[in-house]
Amino acid sequence: MNDELEQRPTSTGMRLRLKWDVARNAPDGLAELRKRQLRQSTDVWSESDRRNVGDFLQQQIARERARDDAGTWSEQLSRALDYRAWHQFAIQRYRDGQWVPASGPASGGERVLAASIPLFAAASSYYGSASNRHAPRLIALDEAFAGVDDDSRAKCLGLLASFDLDVVMTSEREWGCYPQVPGLAIAQLSRREGIDAVLVTPWRWDGHGHRYAVPRPRSQAGSASAAEADD
């Protein structure tokens, strides 16, 4: 994820990183285990490596059973192996030659970027693990960037494009027609009170301007498909 963030600083030069540390109340021995095992893939773990991890997990199970011997086996395992409580995460920003918390003083637009970019990077990193590089990289945004100024919206959408994410979003007013966005398919929905129907008007944005996308009649599409099949 930090590789994704490093490769894509914002147009203003903002650099962010994820800081992943052992939590203060983490189990004893976790910090040392992390130092040894996180440096390599599980595929190359030695028998000793696997034994160390197994011993650590057995200790967590034994500790949980001693703490609550009335609980069920399933409950004890769920609590003992809940690794989410073993770590703490923080987003940091590079400023004045040092990494500082991204939650510090910043403009409204910078705060939006600091909150959004790590999420985009996380999605991009996750999709990057797919074995098929042509697999969809879908991300859905509801009421995208509500309350954010146009400049920050443009930067966020431009970063989504740079992360090569396939975005589906809804918004009351945002069309996404910014030079930073290379292309969009837009569906404008319109309705009137008392009419049980919604008008869908398709538009296309190509990075320079938007135009009405003329729908292809179904009858013509069917005829064309039949003709192609006959050929």
Alpha carbon distance 231, 226 (integer Å): 9
Position 46 pLDDT exceeds 90:
no
- Taking the chain, what is the end-to-end CA distance rounded to the nearest angstrom? 49
Position 220 pLDDT exceeds 60:
no
Query: What integer pLDDT is reported at residue 224 of this predicted model?
Result: 45
In the three-class reduction of DSSP (H, G, I as helix; E, B as strand; rest coil), residue 66 is classed as helix
For residue 221, tell me if it sits in a domain. no
For residue 55, tell me if it sits in a domain. yes
pLDDT digits (tens, 9 = 90+) for 17-45: 888 888 888 888 888 888 877 767 777 78
Q: Which amino acid is at 62?
A: A
Give the position of tokens 């500082």: 100
What's the domain count of the chain? 2
Per-residue pLDDT band at 226 (split at 50, 70, 90): very low
Q: How far is CA 216 from CA 202, 206, 229, in A?
A: 11, 19, 19
Quote the pTM value: 0.66
Instruction: Say if residue 6 is in the same domain as residue 90.
Output: yes
Instruction: Say if residue 12 is in the same domain as residue 80.
Output: yes
The residue segments making up the domain with residue 79 are: 1-104
Position 51 pLDDT exceeds 80:
yes
Instruction: Say if residue 153 is in the same domain as residue 188.
Output: yes
Give the 3-state secondary structure percentages of the chain, helix then strand then coil, rounded to 5: 40, 20, 40
Alpha carbon distance 49, 56 (integer Å): 11
